Amino acid sequence: MSQFLSNCSADALATAAQALKDGSLVAFPTETVYGLGVDATNAEAVARIYEVKGRPSDHPLIVHIADLKYLDQWISDIPEYAIALSREFWPGPMTLILRRSELAGDFITGGQSTVGIRVPDNSVALGLLEAFHKLGGAGIAAPSANRFGQVSPTTAQAVSEEIGEYLSEIDLIIDGGQCEIGLESTIIDCTAELPRILRPGAITIAMIEEATGIKVSNSLNCQSVDFERESIRVSGSLDNHYAPKAKVFLDQRPLVGSGFIALESIATPEGVIRLAAPISVEEFARVLFSALREGDHLKIAAIYIAQPAGDGIAIAIRDRLLRASGMRKVKEENN
């Protein structure tokens, strides 16, 4: 069983950074979801991440750094538009896929020639990263701190429920409260002439267009990326990812006895258990994963969700909901 760290003082984060240096796993908050961190240059420790998550080892990990100045060592090349994106949105909920350097080992990239990098926008995450760099660390690799295929955790409690039993006493879970955004980062492939969204998130197509001056056409809309044909492996793109135990229906007419998640403006029919009533799409994103978890705690068999309409983060919400509902057919690779 791991230790719980609810004190996020500079001293406590320095201790956690030293634990990472020594090969421990440290779960920590980011503005998107909680990550399960490890020294990104320590192959043995990284192998433990895959065990704890139950994740296939060819699925690459995102390397987190505290600042743009730590980027160069991880990559061999960066297009102009990616420089513009990094300046505009880091720290923030955006992961850039770039050509890797030698430092990014096969055990991080799943043997691919690219590496995913992100500067998170959360004071605890940045404090931990700064302390880790101060000890000579190059970056912290961190997947979402859930078992493979499950809902990402947005609180330390959820991390503990997900993976607590798989961690050992040298590992830590840092409690930094609830994640502000609640959905995983936007992943942008920056290895071709034009940027391409691999996973939608809080950094939207419009924001990317504005920052780069490049028109991201509809065909690049993340929802239409055909992952089956992709040589790039984005594990979050597998169809039954983000699935709670309850059966999820994307329908705003819940049956009696089932759970219901919808914007506040939509009333709760009689006999239905309201799991969340967010007042905006941003709040919808923030509470969605914990509401799905709550449904599982209550042992509800079916959860009905009224999908929010529109662009922006609503696209990312609908992407996760499609997967949680299993409405995208389960592919052979996810068996």
Under rule CB under 6 A, residue 97 binds ligand TXA: yes
Stretch that binds ligand TXA, among 18-26, 108-116, 242-250, 308-316 (CB under 6 A): 108-116
Give the integer Cα–Cα distance in Å for 223 and 198.
9
**Residues 16, 129: contact at Cβ < 8 Å?**
no
Yes or no: say if 249 and 296 are a contact pair by the CB < 8 Å rule.
Answer: no
Question: Rounded to the nearest whole angstrom, what is the least distance from the CB of residue 55 to ligand TXA in the complex?
Answer: 8
Q: Choosing among Mg ion, ligand TXA, none, which partner's interface includes residue 118 (Cβ < 5 to 8 Å by kind)?
A: ligand TXA
Is 151 a binding residue for ligand TXA by CB under 6 A? The answer is: no
In the bound state with ligand TXA, the residue whose beta carbon lies nearer, of 175 and 262, is 175
Distances (CA, A) of 215 to 79, 120, 207: 16, 26, 11
Question: What residues make contact with Mg ion under the rule CB under 5 A?
Answer: 144
* Cis-peptide, bond into residue 91, ω within 30° of zero: yes
Q: CB nearer to ligand TXA: give 109 or 204.
A: 109
Nearer Cβ to ligand TXA (120/308) = 120
Most distant CA pair in the chain: distance in Å? 59
Q: Which does 49 bind (CB under 5 to 8 A by kind): Mg ion, ligand TXA, none?
A: none
| Cα distances (Å, whole numbers) of residue 27 to 151, 175, 203, 290 | 15, 9, 24, 17
Smaller CB separation from ligand TXA, 11 or 333: 333
Residue 236 found at the interface with ligand TXA (CB under 6 A): yes
| Residues 218, 94: Cα–Cα separation, whole Å | 20
Task: State which of positions 238-297 bind ligand TXA (CB under 6 A).
Answer: none
Q: Long-range contacts for 224-231 (Cβ within 8 Å, ≥24 apart)?
A: 225/196, 225/197, 225/198, 228/331, 230/198
Query: Which of residues 70 and 242 has its CB atom nearest to Mg ion in the complex?
Result: 242
CB nearer Mg ion, residue 79 or residue 143: 143
- The residue nearest Mg ion at its CB is 144
Beta-carbon contacts of residue 63 (< 8 Å; ≥ 6 apart) = 40, 74, 104, 108, 115, 116, 117, 118, 139, 140, 141
Residue 143 touching ligand TXA (CB under 6 A) = yes
32 binds ligand TXA (CB under 6 A): yes
Q: Which residues bind ligand TXA (CB under 6 A)?
A: 30, 32-33, 35, 59-62, 95, 97, 109, 112, 114-116, 118, 120, 142-144, 184-185, 187, 232-236
